[in-house]
Structure 1
Amino acid sequence: MSAAPLVPRQRLIVWTILGSGVVAALHLGKAAIATPLLQTDLGVSLGQAGWLTGIFAVLGLLGGAPAGAVAAAAGGRRTMLLGLGITALAGAAGGVAPSFGLLLVSRLLEGLGFLLIIVAGPAILERLLSGVARDKAFALWSCFMPCGMALVMVAGPLFPGWRWLWWASAALAILAAALVLYCIPHDDSLGMPRRILGDIRQVLRSRAAALLTIVFALYSLMFFALFSFLPVLLMERMDISYRGAGLLSALASVVNAGGNLAAGYLMARGFGRSAVLLFASGVMGASGLGIFLGLFDAPATFLLCLLFSMIGGLIPATLLATATLAVRDAMLVPIAVGLIMQGSNFGQLFGPAVVGSVTAAFGWSAAGVIVLLAATAACLTALLLRTALEHSDPAQVKRVAMGSATTSGKR
């Protein structure tokens, strides 16, 4: 089946949604690049800096599936606008926070906005696109995290202080909301209310959805164990400037998008999803161990960072593309995505916090052990996922595998 290109209107929708996701990821990643400035201005420790990234995920850890249910019931466009609005307000408030405690509270609220944005994006794409156009859009959407992280790593050192970075990121959220208002069609009428609790229970009963969630939690733990502290690590290991560390961190982030896109290519050519997850998890574990143990010189260590990020990028795209295999009702897809993102938020919360604490106590080598254990667990879970997918609804599996032969358009 040939891959029909997206029409101009569809491209506008996809790029608007992707841009909103990039803004959300930028808010997540700004704490990492601002860590040296926060250490100077507010006197935060590495452990506290880890919590500035980790606290972002608290609400997502508890409310991913409910947020997906809200997006399914209230509509993706409304949910996206709400998320961007909360992100803008919380970001602006964080920019005037006089203490670490108040800054932490603002980060918690930014996490709520982030959660709403990342469950609304797939809901909008699922509603407005179908067939090959939808598959291509989901592959592109999975790039929002590395692109946003890379953007803030490059832009962060250009600001005179961390507060200016917070205010600029809030302004970008307002701009994204304006684009959503202009470019995204209104949500369809809600009609009969969905049974939110029943829908959540139905998704929770899916073994495949549970395993996807676990893999995303372990991937996220590994990814943020490195990227929450990568600028600091590079400055220590490579003896480079703050701005140089930001540029190298951006490069390491952006290659993750290459892995995202490569995952779609591999799945389209029949590579098993579990096999892709198994391979990527193994490479992340081995390269992460080499990075944190300091076994190689500085250039080789940075090449391992690139490998860690690029091959790791296969995982989130594969997981998001597999979400439609975990549920039998298309209306439940946003809830499945929300549940999977709860796993991601678990890793975001505990990865930076644990790694920051053990690094402060035992040095960087302790972080390598944590990454290796997480990678081993991810490999084992990927093997279990293979069996779970084999018992999925055959009709649903066939629909996803063939990419759907329907032409793209509104549902």
Structure 2
Amino acid sequence: MTTAAAVPGARTDWLAVMVVIASGIVAALQVGKAAIAMPLVQAEFGLDLGTLGWLASIFAVLGMVGGIPAGTLAVGWGARRVLLLGLLAVALGAFLGAAAPRFSMLLASRVVEGLGFLLVIIAGPSILQRIAAPAQRDLAMALWSCFMPTGIALAMLAGLWLTDWRMIWQITGALAVIAIGLTLLVVPKTDAGTRPSWAGLAGDAGAVLTARGPLLLALTFALYALMFFALFSFLPVLLMQRMQVSLATAGLLSALATTGNIAGNLIAGLLLSRGIGRVKLIIAANLVMGLCGIGIFLGLLPDTVTFLLCVLFAGAGGLIPATLLASAPLAAPATRLMPVVVGLMMQGSNLGQVVGPVAVGGVIEALGWPSAAGVVGAAALLAMLTALGLRDVLGRAS
């Protein structure tokens, strides 16, 4: 087990970086598995769609309220310790869920999983900030930002051949246990942490909440998530109606489109490492997302072109979380408060995940698919205006 403290910035420990990213992917599997397992869970427990929806949405609700508390915990206890605690909660929740005889118990296990997920995604960037050399931190953050689309895509693909939802829960729990072992063996202790006090935690949270930069990053993240989930929450249904394909084909196409988001995250890392301005990158990505979203929802283009726009939408979108996460250290009031900034950004992201599907679903129900183009277009425009406000915050890096 590694016990020596790492020397920040000396040299990038890429093996440790990969283990941290793998831990994030394991956490994201818990998000993706709910979507792919919903029909199986519904068949076993006989639930209506409204009740079943909590299987997935409970994560977003926890993220909306728990981001800053999880970030302050990472400051007080140390990011590595919080990462391990998060993976332990993920494993425990998954195994409890696999054995749940009733849906109420399954939902309770999802709360445990959701808390673990939140701790993992808050601690990961803080660890990477310390173990990556300064010249490679943007690339490390770009790789980290791939964890969510990678985990969701892997879960969707696994659902094509796993027909027992309890087996899916057991496998994801076992992967979390493996991630715990690898973290203990490979990831160095980058910070010792201290015993947190309530006054200190409140002070850290207040310092972030009263700073302009973190609030702008969180708002930009919220608008990105609103646009992304406004489309991808309904993409299988949209593809089935527009292209007249089966549910299985629509799921496969949706997973393929999601991989575009992974590519966008990686491209962002390369562009940032070459000195491309962060604000310019965010504005360009939002512009492309907005135009693609309008083209997709208006339904005036051929089916193949519409699907390619979905891939481009996801790819352009991938530039945004990678750039925002890489900008967190620059916007933090103090370097040690980066986990709290990331926590605030995750609250923004989860707010967008909740608002996006609800807003778009409502306007589609009332006015039809083309009306969703207005929601996405307006969000993209607002995100570009918000990004302009980051120029003073990010300074030369903008």
In the alignment of these two chains, the number of paired residues is 388
C-alpha distance in structure 2 between counterparts of 1:192 and 1:237, whole Å? 56
1:74 paired to 2:77? yes
| Residue in 1 that maps onto 2:34 | 31
1:123 paired to 2:126? yes
C-alpha distance in structure 2 between counterparts of 1:235 and 1:162, whole Å? 24
Contact 1:50 1:352 in 2 (8 A): no
C-alpha distance in structure 2 between counterparts of 1:229 and 1:160, whole Å? 23
The correspondence for 1:228, drawn from 218, 221, 233, is: 233
The correspondence for 1:306, drawn from 307, 311, 317, is: 311
| Residue in 1 that maps onto 2:18 | 15
| Residue in 1 that maps onto 2:174 | 171
1:161 paired to 2:170? no
Q: 1:315-374 deviations in whole A, cap 9, x for unaligned? A: 001101111111242111111111111111111233334445555565544544332332
Contact 1:33 1:231 in 2 (8 A): no
The correspondence for 1:296, drawn from 283, 296, 301, is: 301
The correspondence for 1:213, drawn from 218, 221, 242, is: 218
C-alpha distance in structure 2 between counterparts of 1:357 and 1:96, whole Å? 36
The correspondence for 1:323, drawn from 316, 324, 328, is: 328
1:379 paired to 2:384? yes
Contact 1:36 1:232 in 2 (8 A): no
Distance 1:243 1:107, change over 3 A: same
Contact 2:217 2:324 in 1 (8 A): yes
Which moves more between the two structures, 128-137 or 280-289? 128-137
The structure 1 segments of at least 4 consecutive aligned residues displaced by more than 6 Å after TM superposition are none
C-alpha distance in structure 2 between counterparts of 1:383 and 1:357, whole Å? 30
| Residue in 2 that maps onto 1:149 | 152
TM-score by length of 2: 0.87
Which moves more between the two structures, 350-359 or 131-140? 350-359
The correspondence for 1:184, drawn from 187, 211, 222, is: 187
1:55 is displaced (CA, Å) by 2.2
Contact 2:90 2:117 in 1 (8 A): yes
C-alpha distance in structure 2 between counterparts of 1:364 and 1:118, whole Å? 34
Distance 1:170 1:234, change over 3 A: farther
C-alpha distance in structure 2 between counterparts of 1:304 and 1:129, whole Å? 35
Q: 1:47-91 deviations in whole A, cap 9, x for unaligned? A: 556544332121221121221111122111211111112122222
Residue 161 of structure 1 aligns to which amino acid in structure 2?
A: D
1:188 is displaced (CA, Å) by 4.0
Gaps of 5+ in 1: 391-396, 403-411
Residue 321 of structure 2 aligns to which amino acid in structure 1?
A: P
Which moves more between the two structures, 144-153 or 162-171? 162-171
1:231 is displaced (CA, Å) by 3.1
Distance 1:366 1:113, change over 3 A: farther
Distance 1:100 1:305, change over 3 A: farther
C-alpha distance in structure 1 between counterparts of 2:124 and 2:337, whole Å? 14
C-alpha distance in structure 2 between counterparts of 1:264 and 1:335, whole Å? 22
TM-score by length of 1: 0.85
Distance 1:35 1:354, change over 3 A: farther
1:100 is displaced (CA, Å) by 5.4
1:384 is displaced (CA, Å) by 2.0
Q: 1:84-141 deviations in whole A, cap 9, x for unaligned? A: 1212222233345566555444333322111100011112222333312433322211
| Residue in 2 that maps onto 1:339 | 344
Distance 1:190 1:271, change over 3 A: closer
Q: State the percentage of identical aligned residues.
A: 53
The correspondence for 1:238, drawn from 221, 234, 243, is: 243
Which moves more between the two structures, 113-122 or 160-169? 160-169
Distance 1:386 1:309, change over 3 A: same
| Residue in 1 that maps onto 2:95 | 92
Distance 1:314 1:152, change over 3 A: same
Distance 1:368 1:112, change over 3 A: farther
Distance 1:286 1:43, change over 3 A: farther
Q: 1:251-308 deviations in whole A, cap 9, x for unaligned? A: 2111212111222232333332222111211221222233234333332221111011
Gaps of 5+ in 2: 1-8
1:242-281 map, 5 Å:
242-281=247-286
1:380 is displaced (CA, Å) by 1.9
C-alpha distance in structure 1 between counterparts of 2:370 and 2:318, whole Å? 24
| Residue in 2 that maps onto 1:370 | 375
| Residue in 1 that maps onto 2:6 | none
Distance 1:158 1:358, change over 3 A: farther
Give the CA RMSD over aligned residues: 2.8
Contact 2:269 2:322 in 1 (8 A): yes
Indicate the SS of the match to 1:157.
coil
Residue 149 of structure 1 aligns to which amino acid in structure 2?
A: I
